[in-house]
Amino acid sequence: MAKMVLHFLVTAGVFFILGQKLPGFHVDSWMTAVLAALALGAVNVTLGPILKFLTFPITLLTLGLFSFVINAVLILLVAFLIPGLSINGFWPALVAAVVLSGVNLLWKMSTAKSSDEK
């Protein structure tokens, strides 16, 4: 449970940092970043699997790279839903999707149990 809460806070932190460093990506406050992380989790659980199922052929053709586009669309949807989060265009959303995917990869690598711990 603590690992899940920490991962949520890391995602919120990434949103906040992207709002400070990425042109075209604006986050008003830390609370907005927390709400955005919560909304992204909800959107990923509900709409994410549907979109991934519908776009599976193109994702297969692009060797998985189209999944970044799907994630960018989901981030744009979150920006539409959360006041205080604004994204100016598709490219900042795509960069945010790539950064969030990289952070999630690092999170999973650092918190994965090794074969010795099982």
42-79 per-position pLDDT tens digit: 999 999 999 999 999 999 999 999 999 999 999 999 99
Closest CA relative to residue 70, chosen from 94, 40, 37:
94
* pLDDT surpassing 70 at residue 114: no
* pTM, entire model: 0.90
- The confidence score (pLDDT) of residue 14 equals 95
Q: Is the dihedral of CA 43, 67, 6, 103 positive or negative?
A: negative
Query: So where are the chain's domains?
Result: 14-106
Please report the pLDDT score of residue 115 as a whole number: 59
Burial of 102 (0-12, 13-18, 19+ CB in 10 A): exposed
**Residue 37, burial from CB neighbour count under 10 angstroms (0-12, 13-18, 19+):** buried
Average pLDDT, the chain: 93
Q: What is the pLDDT of residue 118?
A: 55
Distance CA 58, CA 83 (A): 32
